[in-house]
Amino acid sequence: MIDVRAPAEWSSGHMESARLLPLEQLRANPRASIEKDGVLFVCAAGVRSETAARLAAASGFTKVYSLRGGTRAWVKAGLPFTQPLPVAV
C-alpha cells in the first residue's frame, strides 16, 4: 500500500501498513519508486491515488489499484488508522 499524500497529511495519520510516497515524487520516476506489481494507492479522497494508479499502469505495472474514497472513507468505515501521539507541552 502506497500513500501518495503530502508528508504533512501523512504525519496527521495514516494506514499502518502503508508507506509514504508523495505523488510528486512518484511522478518524477514511477518505475524507480514502485518496487513491484500489486500496489494499492491511497490518498485523502481518491483523486491523487487514481492519478498514481494511472501513472503506474502507464509505466508497465498491470496490478495497480486506487482506494475509492481514500483515507476519509477508510476512517469513516471504522478501519484501523494510526493517529499521531499527543505532544506534552
Mean pLDDT lowest for which of 26-35, 47-56, 61-70? Answer: 26-35
The model's pTM is 0.90
CATH number of 2-76: 3.40.250.10
pLDDT surpasses 80 at 86: no
Going from N- to C-terminal start, the domains of the chain cover 2-76
Q: DSSP H helical segments within 4-88, as ranges? A: 7-11, 23-28, 30-33, 47-58, 70-76
CA angle centred on 64, ends 8 and 52, rounded to 5°: 40
**Tell me, what's the pLDDT at 26?**
96
**Tell me, what's the pLDDT at 88?**
56
- pLDDT band at residue 83, thresholds of 50, 70 and 90? confident
Mean pLDDT lowest for which of 13-17, 52-56, 62-66? Answer: 13-17
Residue burial 53-72, b: 16+ Cβ < 10 Å; e: rest: bebbeeeebeebebbebbbe
Residue identified by cell 469513516 is 76
Contacts of 86 (CB under 8 A, 6+ apart): none
